[in-house]
Structure 1
Amino acid sequence: MRMIVEDVMTSKVVSVTAATPFKDIAQALITDDISAVPVVDDDRHVIGMVSEADLLRKEEFREQFHREDYRPPLRARLRHPKGRQKAAGDTAAALMTTPPIVISAAASVVSAARIMQARDVRRLAVVDGNGCLVGIVSRRDLVKVFLRDDDKIAAVVRDDVLGRALWLDTSDVRVEVH
């Protein structure tokens, strides 16, 4: 059994709309103990993501508005050239990172991990075939794969690896997991 995103994702997702104010986003992150929220339109299509890092840009660039000689660290300027615009943002529309990085619930957890690594993100919005939000998958969710019990791992080796991939008769195969 190949592990897919749907097996490990969080399906009860806190989301916001483009018009959601800064303080309401911050409150949602704190109240729900999460590090980001997807931004959705009226049809639940994901249009962006607002993370703690996006909110912290307000503080990061605050001195710049008071003292002209302040320059954020080079890393921040190179990684987030829109930082100054986001720092002035008061709604999810101004703060969100776009385009959103999304994944299908049917995608493999390996694909999710690769996308997160390649795009340097900590979470992906999970969408259905119409692009509507159905969940969110984080790096922490992907770590759940390592917590499978031994019987499930043995079944994967026997049924998927030996049976489906190698087309072997597994009726007499015994798999032990340590």
Structure 2
Amino acid sequence: MEKRWDTVGEVMTHAVIAVGRDTSFQEIAEILQRWRISAAPVLTGDGRVIGVVSEADLLTAQDQAPESAENLTAGQLMSVPAVTVHADSPTAEAARAMARGHLKRLPVIDEEDRLVGIVSRGDLLKVHLRTDEDLAQQVRFELLAALGPAYASAVDVHVEEGRITLTGSLPEAAPKALLERLVRAVPGVVDAEARLTAVSGDQEPVTS
């Protein structure tokens, strides 16, 4: 059976390079260079993520205070709050968070905010290298399961670069917001919008 890679936990990297809040400027720079990464999560003593420190944070500190930057610690340099994602979150949610924040990777946390992994753009390519037609087919299947054949056939699925637009009609009992969340949960979908006309239960769906 083909693996669907539905959740962040299925694609994330478990080994993570992280630093403590007291890690020095110089130590951070050496860690980023040694491991060839652009940023690292900042953790408390019990492993909770409290921020992220990046090459950009180091360069900004050097630019603003060149004489004192090297005396700063990760807790003073880090960007807060950290943009994180849970292991059981849909991969599409992680992709949207990266796109909104122009980020290359996200720390993955558990229900107590403890670090359990990291997910990168490269990890998400496992599911996001999908054609628009492939996405459309899976969205139609999900709509069929949620609405049934009669109403699913009345919904047109348009896809452009991973963005889904639903047009047509649907029963009043099927809120647009729920359908949008259903579609966004499909691996590879970047965003979804339902432009649908509601019809009462005694009306026949309008097919195109």
Check whether TM > 0.5. yes
CA RMSD of aligned residues (A): 2.9
Gap regions ≥5 residues in structure 1: 66-84, 169-178
Partner residue, 1:8:
11
Select the residue among 39, 44, 57 that pairs with 1:41: 44
**What is the one-letter code of the residue matched to 1:119?**
G
Q: What are the ranges of 5 or more consecutive residues in structure 2 without an aligned counterpart?
A: 150-208
1:103-159 Cα distance to aligned partner (Å, 9 max, x none):
1011111101111222332221100111100011122221222468xxxx8xx95xx
Aligned residue in 1 for 2:82? 100
TM-superposed CA distance for 1:89, in Å, is: 5.7
Higher helix share goes to which structure? 1
Residue 99 (structure 2) aligns with: 117
8 Å Cα contact 1:89-1:95 kept in structure 2: no
Specify whether residues 47 and 167 from structure 1 end up closer, same or farther in structure 2 by C-alpha distance, changes over 3 A only.
same
Mapped pair 1:17 → 2:20: yes
Higher relative contact order (CA 8 A, sep 6+): 1
Aligned counterpart in structure 1 of residue 32 of structure 2, from 5, 29, 34: 29
Aligned length: 142
Displacement after TM superposition at 1:30 (Å): 1.1
CA drift at 1:164: 5.0
Contact (CA 8 Å) 2:25, 2:70: kept in 1 or not?
A: no
Superposed CA offset, 1:29-65 (max 9, x none): 11111111100001100000001111111343357x7
Matched, 1:143 2:125: yes
Q: TM (normalized to structure 1)?
A: 0.67
Higher-Rg structure is: 2
